[in-house]
Structure 1
């Protein structure tokens, strides 16, 4: 049976058996698996120079793991809080508020820990790990302003700027869920309008004391989060609809983007640079091409049954556990990637060490996730990390 035929059959099954799948929880496990995989990719990508970075998705498409992380966070919010919001808007909003505060606390702790790591590495070696990245040095140049700026989220250390975006998205979630109660397409339209307005008018959150703007523009990235909420609602009810033409177009776009971004796998040097002159591909403002690329990739993966093929393998429970404990995994990824950056900047890394370091980090993250569940710090059944 061809891939397209298999995908079409999958689409029909999703339409007729969506509720059974929801009860069995298979879709939630799939969400956790892909979120765990996205966090593993973020670990590698947050260590510039790591040899494994050459095979991460950002080298074969216009989008990368950041889109996956934000989208799946929206899916998880819909799964975890959608029904709660229908029952009680006040209780669900309060729960989301508590979650945002928890994320804020984790972000502050991670930032402090990262600056401590960079500072200690600078002190005990002859390498300047603070000067290597300006966002690391700024809090030390003027500690008073630095502390206030970090508390206000107006100064963010490089590679530690996803959680501030997520905090804003969680704060925005009640408004998106309220719109979704009136209709998923209405919610998407409102989100798309905010996205378009921010892009056309150049809205972003300014940084201070260093002039600039947030690396992840929350006015733009909320649209990816809203797409996740919309798909999360679809998963719980009717399932994601399958259309053969859309599936073929998604496959074609994914293939073309892989060829362009990889410079036809190295055979056409400079192709991606030339394409970048004409495509809206900016990461900070979530370029339109990035959105299309991610949606096409997600649609193609979903109806190509990739998750089902991976389910019997050892990779599936491994990454599912990482994704199920997303917050603790993200915290570990952030700090371990900082250690990896220190090794790279100190020229202590090598291709073999790069691979060994990432493998050791993933093993440690898995142990941490298992310990978190074992000691019930986070319920194993939670889907909204």
Structure 2
């Protein structure tokens, strides 16, 4: 029986770190804003999407070479279905209990987040099921699902014909987004279908930009040879740029130069502005270069590895916890004692680790091992 690819603990730890940063950012506490983008003008979302694509290329690329392209495609579709069911579960929770709690508790953070649901419930429900209406916090998985559905074709073409042409087209699409390609496509869709969902409610992430990050990660993950050693002429400017952006971020804050909108466009998160892409690329080059040394000298952080091994479950759990926190305690605009916010964060991370530990037990024992009464019942029938 073929063996599954061996896990790389450092990648699990990195994914776990991304989940911690996303939780700190999405939990509506006084620590949300300071926790965002701690490594420069690059967020945990970029790291999480890129790592997910890299792992997909690595795992499913090996699957394609070992079991064939059809097996690879089936595995991608199975994963996409699982993601879609998770999204439906999150939407069901948000559109029912969370929406009711937001109205009942008069919490504007929730009612604002689900604004279009209150305006046009029918269009919101249908649009959300079709991955067109994507309210804040619930707009990452839809992009992930669509990219996973496209990945079998991308990976097949890359393995058969090489990646150069696809990377070039992907880069051109990303470039088009810098001049509003996504909004132009949305306008065309409105004219053709009469779509009633506002552009801002289709999700904060501009898919025409983020596809480039996904395809780059997929390509690197599918490579059979290790990543090349970075030459000094590339490493030195990359390290200088990463360090400069890190200093700029912590001196200027989240908004680099608020009085110059052009700079904000160059560093825009949702459309992956050019300076932001360079920031991500520079951090990537530094990590790839320093990675082997860091793996040798740094201690393994088992809690981060645990979160990373169960990234989907933990990701969904952090969304659920953030939604309930918004519904009961309000948004970041609500002034609370620092001790309350610390307690909320400690409770959130306790919940995430509980979910990860349950996932670990499930992987080790299976569902019947976790629920002995089920196996006991099955033996009596």
TM-score category (smaller protein): 0.7 to 0.9
Change (3 A) 1:95 1:60: closer
The answer to whether 1:256 aligns with 2:235 is no
The corresponding residue for 2:155 is 177
Partner Cα separation in structure 2 for residue 138 and residue 116 of structure 1: 14
The corresponding residue for 2:49 is 70
The corresponding residue for 1:341 is 326
Change (3 A) 1:70 1:126: closer
1:256-306 per-position Cα deviation (integer Å, ceiling 9, x unaligned) = 11222233579xxx8532565235222222212221111111221332347
Change (3 A) 1:125 1:209: same
Of 219, 230, 245, the match for 2:233: 245
Of 116, 124, 128, the match for 1:150: 128
After the TM superposition, which segments of 4 or more aligned residues of structure 1 sit over 6 Å from their partners? none
Matches within 5 A, 1:344-363: 344-345=330-331, 347=334, 349-363=336-350
Partner Cα separation in structure 1 for residue 148 and residue 356 of structure 2: 23
Contact kept? 2:108, 2:330, Cα under 8 Å: no
Partner Cα separation in structure 1 for residue 18 and residue 121 of structure 2: 34
Deviates more, 1:187-196 or 1:250-259: 187-196
Change (3 A) 1:126 1:176: closer
- Deviation, structure 1 residue 185: 3.7
Partner Cα separation in structure 1 for residue 247 and residue 235 of structure 2: 19
Partner Cα separation in structure 2 for residue 214 and residue 120 of structure 1: 22
Secondary structure class of the residue paired with 1:272? coil
Secondary structure class of the residue paired with 1:273? coil
The corresponding residue for 2:9 is 29
Q: How many residues align?
A: 347
Gaps of 5+ in 1: 1-22, 380-385
Partner Cα separation in structure 2 for residue 227 and residue 371 of structure 1: 33
Change (3 A) 1:372 1:274: same
Secondary structure class of the residue paired with 2:363? coil
The corresponding residue for 1:220 is 209
The answer to whether 1:330 aligns with 2:330 is no
Of 280, 285, 293, the match for 1:294: 280
- Deviation, structure 1 residue 310: 7.3
Change (3 A) 1:172 1:24: closer
| TM-score for both structures, normalised by structure 1 | 0.80
Contact kept? 2:27, 2:322, Cα under 8 Å: yes
Change (3 A) 1:368 1:292: same
1:122-180 per-position Cα deviation (integer Å, ceiling 9, x unaligned) = 3543444543x1x4132233322221111111111211100000011101111221232
How much is the aligned-residue C-alpha RMSD, in angstroms?
2.9
Partner Cα separation in structure 2 for residue 199 and residue 66 of structure 1: 19
Change (3 A) 1:31 1:159: same
Deviates more, 1:98-107 or 1:333-342: 333-342
